[in-house]
């Protein structure tokens, strides 16, 4: 199903606002039923079979939608809204039909009565369209909008009616009638339809258990037989309209098929489901056509006008209508209502589908209906379907205007022709309004939110160089007989066979993939009605050849299990071809192509190969055309000619010959491959992906096809500005294809470097390093790949290693600015500020206008607390990049550090400027600056709000140390939160800052432990040499002897139902493989010493190895602490094996949810760094992703070999 059908902007907005369940969304949408976008969204919700609704919501929706008082004016736009409103009402009523709900008589009668009002609304809105708003209450109009006296204007009146609304009103009337609470026929027909469908399609086990011989499935009219079976035995207490039983059966069939095709159980595929529905639609219409076969076009128009007028009056007079039902009179229905309804289902299927074969079958359904239309009622619907198809693909269905002209030419040069022309104009205007609705703001669009497979399928069927009939024939063709068939069987492997050929298989294996065929896994796809009605088209197009009798064909075909069956098939097809030649003496060229001399020995063929090898493409074109003059059906020469045009950049001509080649041999792969490569050259990557996948499926023998396909996947993913699900899917497909290529060529340069980039995007940095190791193994002196290697090491926080790599790259390429800046950034991170400045000065000397160098130079001065130098440098940066708002704010922040006078005015000026940023509540730097300004102004209330927002944005607490000096602020917060300093003192907490962290943010710093136990003082080290500082800039470091570290008995936070415990640690180095780290959590109650609970979590060597060298990380224990177990305190502790590990500990924190291992960002980075200097692939994009390097991977030899 089209993903865009349900990807609605309003529905997504509701989800963001917290309306998650379908029921919640419906409740909200029902509030605004007069708004078309709300109505449309409601319709989409109910159309999605995967949405489940409560009975109450369905009834509430039914009541709301049956309220006609929402239409209190009449306009041209009202008719669109009325149809949409009634369609939504119909869908809700259908939902109720298939739910265990029985409507009360009172509710049914209320809805019946509302139909009268909707008829009146339809009448008034139609008047607006037909005669204009000034005359919309003229008394000369009767109930069906036909003037009583002025027949001259009849042509303009009758053809401006939206017949969809008439049909929907009749459907509502008859469905409500069928839901009477004293009848059970609906549930009975629902059960019978489902059972018969399962048997027909072999969804029930065992139906095809005797597939050969004596198959139980009928060879013809199985659908019609099934429909006949369903009608038998159905009786009703009250009469129903003659069309309605068949109509209801068709709705039940559609309901079951769509449910099966969209089910998580994968009962049938969506494509299979659509083909089943199409066969039923054709079966019903075939019967309708038979009924009017002996009548001329529009023969029933007069009768239709009479009946429709009576029906309209009956609907208005609801009381008489109900009395007629009670008295046993059959409800009046429009002529050909079932026909119209079947066409309406076809139109709905068009809107759901992405399969061009479905569109094609609906096209022929509409064309046949138009040609046999007995009234304007059917004309209207046929025209509407054709216009919808043209809107979906105006190239494939470009002939529709010609179809309209041809149909008009068949009409008499009288009223019929004029009425049709007026009707056509009206329906075109109506459809254009529909398309504006579909393509406007209500839907996000077809291209958004699709999986890679869905998007490809849609694009695929747009570009196939085929006629509509070609596409249909391909869907119902058996690959063994290579002809369309009326009975197909879909195997578990998804290969298809005709039922006839399935019977002939001596061994139950798929002839294509050799997978074993199990009877219960076969799905039967009857196509009798489609095959019968399209037979003449298929025969004339050459898809069905005259019958040929082959000797012993029944005994020899597929008797053995060898690969000779393909040879036999070729011989069989040759016999057919020879027979065809005999039947048509003019096809001498066919004889030439069969018996032509071998290509490799043909002098012209040899000449064109020689010229192409010399790259004389213009001359090659002339020779190819000469060859085709003698052998016009040569597939290979068309591909060679396209290859020549490709090299001349004449892509349009290349496509022309490739399309011809594909028509000649649809299952030969090389033409698809060349076409895919040209699409790649044109940057149309979706088309390239599709064609290349087809070529691979047809066993292409080209070494570079997986590289080309991987490149297409990668660049398709790169088109998106954001890394969404579609991009991720593209990357995954690219990796899959590159890895296939690397199996044959492990050192392929393109594959390795593109894999490295994708792994980086996926944050699989170790995989990236693996790819870069291989690239450096090919050329160890490639400075850019060395620099890229260093950048990935930085991503892994392995800064000391990255510096070694950057130094090597810089020595190889000493004037490479990118390498110098990356090296400077690394020096900056590990706080070697003097070395960072040296590199940045060198960059500025080489490139005085390099703004990024000034930016980092200013930050470096800031971190060195040389604020005046930082301001001077940032001023230079702002001259070069004056639009950088954050740099401006940083400049003000630095200026604030230097201001001595006019304290209050200065901070107010900062607030005035910073509050102009609309995105301040999501920006760390701006929030921090504002928070600090509020603190200086002693506006602690606002400062606290900003502080809380900073905590919301950051798991890491390091930023708080930039505010630690403001002791009055922390005193305020402790008082504000009622924190008792004396209670915290027993935990070693001696100041308000630490008190706030412990009581409000549940962080217990290691420095607090030192206050209560001096034995740990000898392990205290300054952490300034580490690339990732601890929060307090000091941490306990254990290098040899490791005492058990037991924290105090911390209180159990009863405000939360549960919490997790996170340790901030730094595994600097492993000294022994016998190392371990054991975390212990003890819970207890002082009133009951025997009631304690202890849990442990141990990291062993393999676990610790993954953490070594990552710097400071927050490690969350994989179990939660429950607070409803009467435990008053929690005591964490940590132990390690002596002399086995060098490890640092910073703090323990209680968090509300389990986290993955996360890096603890160095606190200095929080403030200044907002510019991310890109890595090598982004910085040198044109060179790294060189299209020239990625193109021309298909060569002449590939064409010849295929």
The larger pLDDT score, comparing residue 1113 to residue 220, is at 1113
**Does the pLDDT of residue 86 top 90, yes or no?**
yes
Q: What pLDDT was estimated at residue 329? A: 55
578 and 676 part of one domain: no
582 and 626 part of one domain: no
Q: What pLDDT was estimated at residue 1186? A: 79
The larger pLDDT score, comparing residue 1046 to residue 527, is at 527
Mean pLDDT is highest, among 154-163, 600-609, 752-761, 1193-1202, for 752-761
CA 332 to chain centre: 46
Burial class (CB in 10 A: 0-12, 13-18, 19+), 821: buried
In a domain, 436, yes or no: no
Q: What pLDDT was estimated at residue 479? A: 78
In a domain, 773, yes or no: yes
Task: Classify 183 as helix, strand or coil.
Answer: coil
In a domain, 221, yes or no: no
Q: Decide the pairing of beta strands 1158-1159 and 1112-1116.
A: antiparallel
**Beta bridge pairs of residue 1079:** 1097, 1134
Give the span between the Cα atoms of 1090 and 1086, in whole angstroms.
9
**Does the pLDDT of residue 341 top 90, yes or no?**
yes
**Does the pLDDT of residue 569 top 70, yes or no?**
no
**Does the pLDDT of residue 212 top 60, yes or no?**
no
443: DSSP letter: B
> Tokens standing for 570?
């070729």
The angle subtended at Cα 94 by Cα 89 and Cα 96, nearest 5°, is: 100
The larger pLDDT score, comparing residue 146 to residue 43, is at 43
Query: What is the average per-residue pLDDT within 1088-1111?
Result: 83
Query: What is the average per-residue pLDDT within 814-837?
Result: 90
Each residue's pLDDT tens digit, 16-70: 888 889 899 889 899 888 888 888 889 988 888 888 899 999 999 999 999 998 8
> Quick one: pLDDT band at residue 187, thresholds 50, 70, 90?
low
Q: What pLDDT was estimated at residue 362? A: 94
Question: What's the first-to-final CA gap in the chain, in angstroms?
Answer: 36
CATH number, position 573:
3.30.40.10
Range 1011-1038 burial, b when 16+ CB lie within 10 A, else e: eeeeebeebebebeebbbbbbbbbbbbb
Q: What pLDDT was estimated at residue 672? A: 94
Q: What pLDDT was estimated at residue 1024? A: 46
692 and 812 part of one domain: yes
> Quick one: pLDDT band at residue 416, thresholds 50, 70, 90?
confident
Give the span between the Cα atoms of 914 and 925, in whole angstroms.
10
Of the listed ranges 542-551, 712-721, 742-751, 962-971, the one predicted with least confidence: 542-551
Query: What is the average per-residue pLDDT within 95-117?
Result: 86
CATH number, position 1143:
2.60.120
Give the span between the Cα atoms of 447 and 437, in whole angstroms.
17
In a domain, 874, yes or no: no
Give the span between the Cα atoms of 1159 and 799, in whole angstroms.
14
> Quick one: pLDDT band at residue 87, thresholds 50, 70, 90?
very high
Which of 800, 825, 850 lies at the terminal end of a domain, its last residue? 825
626 and 718 part of one domain: yes
Query: What is the average per-residue pLDDT within 1010-1019?
Result: 69
Each residue's pLDDT tens digit, 945-994: 999 998 888 777 777 877 888 889 999 999 998 888 777 888 888 889 98
Give the span between the Cα atoms of 897 and 892, in whole angstroms.
9
Which of 149, 175, 201 lies at the terminal end of a domain, its last residue? 175
Q: Which domain holds residue 113?
A: 3-175
563 and 497 part of one domain: yes
For a pLDDT cut of 70, what percent of the chain falls above it?
A: 73
Q: What pLDDT was estimated at residue 962? A: 76
Task: Classify 402 as helix, strand or coil.
Answer: helix
17 and 166 part of one domain: yes
Burial class (CB in 10 A: 0-12, 13-18, 19+), 63: middle
Each residue's pLDDT tens digit, 1029-1041: 455 555 677 776 6
Alpha carbon dihedral 359, 363, 369, 370, in 10-degree steps, equals 140
35 and 108 part of one domain: yes
In a domain, 494, yes or no: yes
The larger pLDDT score, comparing residue 461 to residue 172, is at 172
Q: What pLDDT was estimated at residue 160? A: 75
688 and 579 part of one domain: no
Which of 175, 208, 225 lies at the terminal end of a domain, its last residue? 175
**Could you tell me if 874 and 868 are in contact, meaning their C-beta atoms sit under 8 angstroms apart?**
no
In a domain, 189, yes or no: no
In Å, what is the CA distance from 178 to each residue of 67, 239, 335, 750, 1131?
A: 21, 9, 20, 66, 70
Give the span between the Cα atoms of 455 and 451, in whole angstroms.
6
In a domain, 579, yes or no: yes
Of the listed ranges 200-209, 357-366, 837-846, 1145-1154, the one predicted with least confidence: 200-209
**Does the pLDDT of residue 326 top 60, yes or no?**
no
**Does the pLDDT of residue 769 top 90, yes or no?**
yes
In Å, what is the CA distance from 622 to each residue of 607, 640, 660, 1197?
A: 11, 12, 18, 20
**Beta bridge pairs of residue 1058:** 1122
In a domain, 915, yes or no: no
The larger pLDDT score, comparing residue 845 to residue 127, is at 845
581 and 603 part of one domain: no
628 and 771 part of one domain: yes
For residue 213, whether the previous peptide bond is cis, meaning omega lies within 30 degrees of 0, is yes
**Does the pLDDT of residue 897 top 70, yes or no?**
no
Query: What is the average per-residue pLDDT within 1095-1116?
Result: 84
668 and 528 part of one domain: no
**Does the pLDDT of residue 442 top 80, yes or no?**
no
Instruction: Residue 472: name the closest of 488, 453, 451 by CA.
Output: 488
Each residue's pLDDT tens digit, 248-302: 888 888 888 888 887 777 678 888 888 889 988 998 888 888 766 444 445 556 6
Instruction: Residue 124: name the closest of 105, 143, 111 by CA.
Output: 143
Of the listed ranges 322-326, 854-858, 974-978, 1187-1191, the one predicted with least confidence: 322-326
Looking up tokens 């047809």, which residue turns up?
698
CATH number, position 698:
1.25.40.10
**Does the pLDDT of residue 608 top 80, yes or no?**
yes
Q: What pLDDT was estimated at residue 146? A: 40
> Quick one: pLDDT band at residue 903, thresholds 50, 70, 90?
low
> Quick one: pLDDT band at residue 218, thresholds 50, 70, 90?
very low
The larger pLDDT score, comparing residue 957 to residue 344, is at 344
DSSP sequence for 901-936 = SSHHHHHHHHHHHHTT-TTGGG-HHHHHHHHHHHHH
DSSP sequence for 706-721 = HHHHHHHHHHHHHTSS
**Does the pLDDT of residue 1025 top 80, yes or no?**
no
Query: What is the average per-residue pLDDT within 801-810?
Result: 93
> Quick one: pLDDT band at residue 395, thresholds 50, 70, 90?
confident
Per the structure, the count of domains in the chain is 4
Q: Rg of the chain's alpha carbons, rounded to an integer?
A: 38
631 and 683 part of one domain: yes
**Does the pLDDT of residue 208 top 60, yes or no?**
no
């Amino acid at each position: 199903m089209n993903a865009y059908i349900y990807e609605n902007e309003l529905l997504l907005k509701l989800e963001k606002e917290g309306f998650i369940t379908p029921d919640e969304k419906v409740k909200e949408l029902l509030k605004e039923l007069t708004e078309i976008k709300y109505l449309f969204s409601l319709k989409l919700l109910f159309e999605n079979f995967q949405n489940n609704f409560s009975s109450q919501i369905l009834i509430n929706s039914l009541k709301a939608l049956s309220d006609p008082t929402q239409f209190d004016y009449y306009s041209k736009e009202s008719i669109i809204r009325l149809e949409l409103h009634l369609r939504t009402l119909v869908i809700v009523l259908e939902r109720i039909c298939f739910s265990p709900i029985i409507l009360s008589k009172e509710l049914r009668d209320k809805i019946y009565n509302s139909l009268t009002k909707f008829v009146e609304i339809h009448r008034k809105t139609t008047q607006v369209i037909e005669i204009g708003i000034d005359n919309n209450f003229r008394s000369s109009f009767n109930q069906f909008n036909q003037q009583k006296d002025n027949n001259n204007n009849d042509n303009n009146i009758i053809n401006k009616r939206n017949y969809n609304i008439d049909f929907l009103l009749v459907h509502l009337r008859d469905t409500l009638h069928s839901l009477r609470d004293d009848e059970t026929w609906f549930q009975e027909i629902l059960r019978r339809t489902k059972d018969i469908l399962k048997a027909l399609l072999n969804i029930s086990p065992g139906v095809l258990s005797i597939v050969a011989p004596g198959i139980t499935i009928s060879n013809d009219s199985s659908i019609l037989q099934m429909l006949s079976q369903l009608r038998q035995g159905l009786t009703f207490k009250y009469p129903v309209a003659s069309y309605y039983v068949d109509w209801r059966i068709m709705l039940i069939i559609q309901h079951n098929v769509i449910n099966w095709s969209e089910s998580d159980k994968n009962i049938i595929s969506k494509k299979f489901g659509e083909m089943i529905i199409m066969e039923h639609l054709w079966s019903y219409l075939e019967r309708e056509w038979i009924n009017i076969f002996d009548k001329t076009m529009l023969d029933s128009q007069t009768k239709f006008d009479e009946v429709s007028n009576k029906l309209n009056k009956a609907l208005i007079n609801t009381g008489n209508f109900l009395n007629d039902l009670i008295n046993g009179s059959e409800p009046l229905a429009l002529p050909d209502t079932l026909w119209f309804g079947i066409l309406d289902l076809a139109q709905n299927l068009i809107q759901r589908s992405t399969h061009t074969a479905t569109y094609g079958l609906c096209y022929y359904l509409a064309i046949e209906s138009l040609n046999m239309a007995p009234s304007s009622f059917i004309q209207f619907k046929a025209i509407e379907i054709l216009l919808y198809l043209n809107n979906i693909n105006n190239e494939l269905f470009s002939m529709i205007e010609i179809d309209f002209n041809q149909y008009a030419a068949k009409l008499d040069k009288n009223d019929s022709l004029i009425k049709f022309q007026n009707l056509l104009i009206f329906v075109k205007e109506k459809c254009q309004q529909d398309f504006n609705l579909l393509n406007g703001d209500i839907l996000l669009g077809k291209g958004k939110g699709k999986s890679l497979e869905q998007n490809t399928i849609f694009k695929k069927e747009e570009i196939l160089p085929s006629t509509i009939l070609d596409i249909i024939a391909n869907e119902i063709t058996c690959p063994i007989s290579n002809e369309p068939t009326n009975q197909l069987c879909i195997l578990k492997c998804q290969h298809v066979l005709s039922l006839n050929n399935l019977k002939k298989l001596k061994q139950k294996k798929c002839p294509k993939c050799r997978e074993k065929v199990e009877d219960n896994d076969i799905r039967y796809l009857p196509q009798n009605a489609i095959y019968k009605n399209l037979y003449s088209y298929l025969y004339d197009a050459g898809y069905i050849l005259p019958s040929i009798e082959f000797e012993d064909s029944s005994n020899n075909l597929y008797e053995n299990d060898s690969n000779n069956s393909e040879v036999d098939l070729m011989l069989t097809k040759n016999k057919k071809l020879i027979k065809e030649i005999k039947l048509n003496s003019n096809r001498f060229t066919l004889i030439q192509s069969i018996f032509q001399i071998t290509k490799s020995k043909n002098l012209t063929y040899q000449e064109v190969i020689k010229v192409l090898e010399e790259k004389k493409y213009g001359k090659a074109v002339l020779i190819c055309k000469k060859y085709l003059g003698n052998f016009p059906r040569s597939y290979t020469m068309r591909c060679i000619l396209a290859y020549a045009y490709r090299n001349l950049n004449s892509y349009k001509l290349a496509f022309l010959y490739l399309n011809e080649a594909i028509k000649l041999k649809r299952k030969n792969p090389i033409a698809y491959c060349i076409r895919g490569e040209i699409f790649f050259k044109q940057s149309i990557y979706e088309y390239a992906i599709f064609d290349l996948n087809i070529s691979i499926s047809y066993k292409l023998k080209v070494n570079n096809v997986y590289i080309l396909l991987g490149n297409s996947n990668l660049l398709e993913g790169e088109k998106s500005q954001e890394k969404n699900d579609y991009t991720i899917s593209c990357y995954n497909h690219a990796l899959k294809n590159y890895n296939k290529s690397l199996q044959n060529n492990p050192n392929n340069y393109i594959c390795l470097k593109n894999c490295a980039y994708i792994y980086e995007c996926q944050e699989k940095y170790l995989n990236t390093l693996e790819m870069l190791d291989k690239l450096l193994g090919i050329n160890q002196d490639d400075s850019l790949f060395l620099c890229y290697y260093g950048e990935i090491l930085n991503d892994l926080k392995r800064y000391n290693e990255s510096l070694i790599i950057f130094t090597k790259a810089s020595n190889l390429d000493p004037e490479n600015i990118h390498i110098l800046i990356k090296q400077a950034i690394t020096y900056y991170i590990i706080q070697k500020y003097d070395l960072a400045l040296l590199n940045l000065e060198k960059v500025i000397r080489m490139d005085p206008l390099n703004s990024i160098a000034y930016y980092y130079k200013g930050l470096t001065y800031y971190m060195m607390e040389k604020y005046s130098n930082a301001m001077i440098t940032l001023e230079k940066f702002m001259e070069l990049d004056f639009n950088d708002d954050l740099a401006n704010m940083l400049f003000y922040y630095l200026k604030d550090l230097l201001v001595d006078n006019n304290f209050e005015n200065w901070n107010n000026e900062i607030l005035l400027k910073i509050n102009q940023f609309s995105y301040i509540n999501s920006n760390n730097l701006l929030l921090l600056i504002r928070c600090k300004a509020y603190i200086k102004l002693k506006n602690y209330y606002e400062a606290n709000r900003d502080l809380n927002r900073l905590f919301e944005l950051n798991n890491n607490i390091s930023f708080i140390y930039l505010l630690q000096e403001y002791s009055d602020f922390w005193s305020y917060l402790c008082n504000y939160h009622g924190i008792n300093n004396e209670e915290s003192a027993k935990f070693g907490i001696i100041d308000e800052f630490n008190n706030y962290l412990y009581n409000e943010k549940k962080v217990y710093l290691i420095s607090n432990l030192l206050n209560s136990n001096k034995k740990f003082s000898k392990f205290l080290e300054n952490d300034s040499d580490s690339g990732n500082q601890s929060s307090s800039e000091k941490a306990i470091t254990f290098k040899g002897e490791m005492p058990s570290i037991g924290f105090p008995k911390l209180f159990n936070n009863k405000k939360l139902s549960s919490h997790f415990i996170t340790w901030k640690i730094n595994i600097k180095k492993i000294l022994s493989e016998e190392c371990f780290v054991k975390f212990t959590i003890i819970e207890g109650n002082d009133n009951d010493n025997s009631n304690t609970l202890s849990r442990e979590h141990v990291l062993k060597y393999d676990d610790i190895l993954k953490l070594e060298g990552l710097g400071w990380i927050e490690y969350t224990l994989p179990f939660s602490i429950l607070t409803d177990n009467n435990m008053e305190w929690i005591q964490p502790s940590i132990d390690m094996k002596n002399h086995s590990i060098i490890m640092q500990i910073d703090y323990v924190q209680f968090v509300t949810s389990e986290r993955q291992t996360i890096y603890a960002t160095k606190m200095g980075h929080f403030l200044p760094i907002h510019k991310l200097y890109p890595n090598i692939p982004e910085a040198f994009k044109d060179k790294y992703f060189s299209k020239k390097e990625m193109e021309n991977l298909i060569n002449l030899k590939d064409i010849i070999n295929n």
